[in-house]
Structure 1
Amino acid sequence: MKTYKLTAFEANGDKLLDETFEAENDDAAKKQGEQLLSEKDLLEKTHRCTSPSGKLLLFHS
């Protein structure tokens, strides 16, 4: 399992979410990140999900 980082922000830069989670691979992490954002009603906020190697998996501004 790899550890991924998910963050979400308000337009003014205030951090709304700063969470790490584990997933088998990048595809699973992308799905899990989208699910977490959806559950917390943050899909339309600025967000990003990065892999342990720094790869950007999700991004919305």
Structure 2
Amino acid sequence: MTRTYVLTVFDKSGGKLMDESFTAANDQEAKEVGTAKLSESGYNEHTHRCVSPEAKLVLFHR
């Protein structure tokens, strides 16, 4: 069963640079997919978060 996760990236003033949903089988896969998406977009060092359908933080950087 796939689950829907949300990856959000913020700029320094708190504005959203990315707000994207994607599916993954579990939290570990979501962390890997989220990290890959951040790398592809060049947002690794920006403030970001990835949350599960239950609003659990899977990935976070400030």
TM bucket (normalised to shorter chain) is: over 0.9
* In 1, Cα distance between equivalents of 2:34 and 2:60: 11
Q: Over aligned residue pairs, what C-alpha RMSD do you find?
A: 0.5
* In 2, Cα distance between equivalents of 1:32 and 1:8: 14
* Equivalent AA in structure 2 for residue 46 of structure 1: T
Task: Give the TM-score of the pair, scaled to structure 1.
Answer: 0.97
**5+ long unaligned stretches in structure 2:** none
Task: Give the TM-score of the pair, scaled to structure 2.
Answer: 0.96
Which of structure 1's runs of 4+ aligned residues deviate more than 6 A? none
| Match in the other structure for 2:24 | 23
| Match in the other structure for 2:13 | 12
**5+ long unaligned stretches in structure 1:** none
Q: In percent, how many aligned pairs have the same letter?
A: 52
* In 2, Cα distance between equivalents of 1:38 and 1:52: 23
